[in-house]
Structure 1
Amino acid sequence: MDNTEIIEKIKEEIARTEDQVIKYRDLTKPISPENAIGRVSRMDAINNKSVNEAALRQTEQKLTDLKRVLDKAGSKEFGICVKCKNPIPIGRIMIRPESLFCVNCAS
């Protein structure tokens, strides 16, 4: 597999992740108190909002990492673990293109 295929995979993942960020931002909008929902429903909505806020933070971090990896594409740092400086296996890059660490350093 060559770098152009990997770069295309990263770009596709960035597009999907940007769509997820938009979805989570919509789901984390404040719950208006004038909405006529019951107390239990409001508590569920607040709980769901917290879960979605956590998912939004994770998705935004993934997007940041994907963009960082894409910026490195074509350079000698591309596909290199930021911790141990060893190559990240191509399989890991294809499964988790946002990976900045090899398997050993990630765990």
Structure 2
Amino acid sequence: MTPQQRRELKTHIESELALLKEELAATEGNTKPAVTPDSAIGRISRVEAMQSRHIGEASARARKARIGRLELALASIDDEDYGLCVACEEPIPLARLRLIPEATHCVACAADLEA
């Protein structure tokens, strides 16, 4: 990977991190309980509110996990091992890193892991 490609990926990761953190901050208030158990609303409405809260919490957890992975990728982007598959040690295609900058496996090895 060329130094220019690393700089481009670094910029991409930084913008992705900023976006995720902004989204997380905007949705953080949506995970607070909207309906207390003693609220006088219908049973279906209470279930829907609880389900919506759980979906919001799951979304926040997923964003936080991705933020963590992207921060690790950003910290290691200047390492010579960044962009190499941890399984086969072959270079991860640049197109894959542009889509998933935190990728640690090439497509073939990632498919083997999922199988």
Q: Secondary structure at the match of 1:82?
A: coil
Runs of 5+ consecutive residues of structure 1 not aligned to the other structure: none
TM-score w.r.t. length of structure 2: 0.79
Measured against aligned partners, the alpha-carbon deviations of 1:35-61 in whole angstroms (never above 9, x if no partner) come to 554332121010111122222222111
Structure showing greater radius of gyration is 2
User: How far apart are the structure 2 equivalents of 1:53 and 1:27?
Assistant: 8
User: How far apart are the structure 2 equivalents of 1:80 and 1:35?
Assistant: 54
- Assess if the C-alpha contact under 8 Å between 1:24 and 1:53 holds in 2: no
- Assess if the C-alpha contact under 8 Å between 1:69 and 1:100 holds in 2: no
Larger deviation: 43-52 or 75-84? 75-84
| Number of residues of Structure 1 aligned to a counterpart in Structure 2 | 107
Cα pair distance change 1:24/1:83, threshold 3 Å: farther
Runs of 5+ consecutive residues of structure 2 not aligned to the other structure: none
Cα pair distance change 1:24/1:94, threshold 3 Å: same
- Assess if the C-alpha contact under 8 Å between 2:35 and 2:46 holds in 1: no
Percent identity over the alignment is 31
Cα pair distance change 1:41/1:75, threshold 3 Å: same
TM-score w.r.t. length of structure 1: 0.84
Q: What residue is the counterpart of 1:46 in the other structure?
A: 50
User: How far apart are the structure 2 equivalents of 1:74 and 1:102?
Assistant: 19
Structure 1 counterpart of 2:104, one-letter code: L
2:59 corresponds to which of 55, 59, 64: 55
